């Protein structure tokens, strides 16, 4: 018996024989990191240096889609490593958790400031699953099951959303984009929101790194038929562009990794979500609220938590049952260390550098943020068969602190 898997070798053979596939067949579609196979056994410090070089190599970049090795102030690591904070568990006992609750409350406040929306929560698992949570919120409020998903949303996010929501009765329609500009077509030129539509999901900056200049008109069209406008935003891009609320979004979600979270071989990540107040009772996860204790002193507690995933089960709006407290701490420390002016300056330098490079290399014109699409496989490959072999490259590692 394998100590980490509940199946014996005989069990596994029986399963693969039943489905007519070998274990090798099951994982045939998983891309191997072939560049690692040629590496000999080395001392730890030598391997670390190899990975540092690889991390900055555009040809072998393992990041993209808003995720990357962004600069992190030293104070973030110093504070986040303190023993008082090293826990990811939800602070159910407020009498001994005021420090952690204060951090999460501050995190929620920062997310609301970034988005311009009224409410936020203690964080979700990652940006991709946060999109699925936002769609579930919209469906619960509208009682509809049709999802209008912009094709300029990252292919990986679209795949995660379809996988998570499979079997729950959702029907997906895609809004195509203009192949010359890389952004959504005008409203009316393509599939538009209808009275059957639960929500419209747009990403800006989109999969090609471009700001969706027509997002406002698409969101207005969604509101006209009672659909919920959802924007996937970049937590740094909002400092040099419109906030999601100003664009007309009712729910905004993002991947928080750029805010002081290092890359560690596939994680950890941090889902961010904010919404209009009317969605308060549908907000997944944990919410920290402010109250007073028996002596009239300010106190923070977990509030408005029905813990429905334990009671309603498959009828629950969400089954998330924790939060990324340590990652939310890092994001909060990042914002506190740089302050709004510092983050704005950093975001502006990222944007300027990306646009300077994009003018000579990008396949689409238009304003970008941090990333841009190029021909070939120079960076993170993008699955758009209609455009041929393209990939997205970023400048995060080239912009110093």
Q: What does the pLDDT look like over 268-289, one tens digit per residue?
A: 899 999 999 999 988 988 899 9
Dist CA 263 CA 74 (whole Å): 15
Model pLDDT, residue 36: 57
* CATH class, range 76-331: alpha beta
Model pLDDT, residue 1: 44
Nearest to 308 by CA among 284, 328, 329, 330: 284
- Specify the 3-state DSSP secondary structure of 127: helix
Whether residue 119 has pLDDT greater than 90: yes
Token reading at 259: 């805010």
What pLDDT band is residue 204 in, cutting at 50, 70 and 90?
A: very high
Count other Cβ atoms within 10 Å, centred on residue 256: 28
Token reading at 215: 């997002």
Chain centroid, CA 192 distance in Å? 25
218 vs 305: which has the higher pLDDT: 218
Nearest to 268 by CA among 55, 79, 124: 124
Chain centroid, CA 177 distance in Å? 22
Above pLDDT 70, what percent of the chain?
Answer: 86
Residue 111 in contact with residue 120, Cβ under 8 Å? yes
Nearest to 126 by CA among 161, 90, 97, 100: 161
Dist CA 129 CA 271 (whole Å): 7
Whether residue 219 has pLDDT greater than 90: yes
Model pLDDT, residue 216: 95
* Domain-wise residue ranges, the chain: 9-55, 76-331
Dist CA 257 CA 234 (whole Å): 10
What CA–CA distances, in Å, run from 200 to 135, 179, 284, 330, 386? 9, 21, 19, 31, 23
The tokens 């809004």 sit on which residue?
Answer: 175
Per-residue pLDDT tens for 340-390? 999 999 999 999 999 999 999 999 999 999 999 999 988 788 999 999 999
103 vs 44: which has the higher pLDDT: 103
- Specify the 3-state DSSP secondary structure of 149: strand
Quote the DSSP letter at residue 184: B
Buried b or exposed e, range 98-110, using 16+ CB within 10 angstroms: bebbebbbbbbeb
What pLDDT band is residue 325 in, cutting at 50, 70 and 90?
A: confident
| Rounded mean pLDDT, 163-191 | 90
Nearest to 128 by CA among 3, 253, 285: 253
Picking from 3-12, 254-263, 292-301, which range would have the lowest pLDDT averaged per residue? 3-12
Whether residue 23 has pLDDT greater than 50: yes
Rounded to 5°, the CA angle 72-369-208 comes to 120
Whether residue 191 has pLDDT greater than 50: yes
Quote the DSSP letter at residue 82: S
Model pLDDT, residue 285: 84
Q: 146: which strand partners?
A: 171, 197
The tokens 């100003």 sit on which residue?
Answer: 246
314 vs 24: which has the higher pLDDT: 24
Model pLDDT, residue 237: 96
Indicate the pTM of the whole model. Answer: 0.84
Range with top average pLDDT, 12-16, 315-319, 387-391: 387-391
Question: In whole numbers, what is the pLDDT of the chain averaged over residues?
Answer: 86
Above pLDDT 90, what percent of the chain?
Answer: 59
Residue 372 in contact with residue 209, Cβ under 8 Å? yes
Question: Does residue 348 come out as left (phi exceeding 0), alpha (psi in the -120 to 50 range) or beta?
Answer: alpha
Burial of 151 (0-12, 13-18, 19+ CB in 10 A): middle
Count other Cβ atoms within 10 Å, centred on residue 357: 17
Residue 382 in contact with residue 207, Cβ under 8 Å? yes
Model pLDDT, residue 353: 93
Burial of 299 (0-12, 13-18, 19+ CB in 10 A): middle
Dist CA 251 CA 219 (whole Å): 11
Residue 201 in contact with residue 150, Cβ under 8 Å? yes
Per-residue pLDDT tens for 32-68? 655 555 666 677 777 777 777 666 554 444 456 678 8
């Amino acid at each position: 018996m394998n100590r980490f898997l509940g199946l014996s070798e005989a069990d596994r053979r029986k399963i693969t024989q039943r489905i007519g596939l070998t274990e090798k067949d099951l994982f045939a579609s998983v891309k191997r990191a072939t560049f690692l196979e040629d590496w000999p056994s080395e001392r730890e410090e030598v391997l670390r240096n190899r990975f540092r070089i690889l991390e900055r190599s555009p040809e072998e970049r393992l990041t993209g889609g808003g995720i990357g090795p962004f600069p992190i102030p030293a104070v973030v690591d110093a504070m986040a490593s303190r023993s008082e904070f090293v826990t990811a568990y939800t602070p159910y006992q407020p009498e001994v958790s005021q420090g952690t609750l204060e951090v999460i409350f501050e995190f929620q406040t920062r997310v609301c400031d970034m988005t311009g929306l009224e409410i936020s929560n203690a964080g979700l698992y990652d940006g991709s699953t946060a999109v699925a949570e936002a769609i579930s919120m919209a469906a619960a409020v509208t009682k509809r099951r049709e999802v209008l998903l912009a094709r300029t949303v990252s292919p990986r996010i679209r795949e995660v959303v379809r996988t998570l929501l499979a079997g729950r009765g959702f029907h997906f329609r895609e809004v195509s984009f203009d192949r010359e500009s890389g952004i959504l077509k005008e409203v009316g030129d393509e599939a538009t929101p209808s009275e059957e539509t639960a929500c419209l999901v747009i990403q800006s900056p989109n999969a090609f790194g471009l700001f969706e200049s027509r997002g406002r008109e698409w969101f207005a069209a969604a509101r006209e038929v009672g659909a919920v406008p959802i924007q996937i935003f970049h937590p740094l891009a909002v400092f040099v562009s419109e906030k999601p609320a100003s664009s007309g979004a009712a729910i905004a979600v993002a991947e928080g990794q750029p805010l002081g979270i290092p890359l560690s071989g596939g994680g950890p990540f941090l889902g961010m979500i904010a919404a209009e107040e009317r969605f308060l009772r549908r907000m997944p996860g944990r919410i920290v609220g402010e109250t007073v204790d028996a002596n009239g002193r300010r106190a923070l507690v977990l509030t408005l938590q029905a813990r429905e995933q334990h009671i309603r089960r498959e009828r629950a709006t969400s089954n998330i049952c924790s939060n990324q407290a340590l990652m939310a701490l890092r994001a909060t420390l990042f914002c506190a260390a740089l302050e709004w002016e510092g983050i704005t300056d950093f975001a502006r330098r990222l944007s300027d550098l990306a646009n300077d490079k994009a003018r000579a290399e990008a396949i689409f014109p238009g304003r970008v943020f941090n990333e841009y699409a190029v021909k070939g496989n120079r960076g993170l490959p993008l699955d758009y068969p209609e455009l041929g072999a393209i990939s997205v490259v970023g400048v995060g590692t080239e912009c110093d602190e």
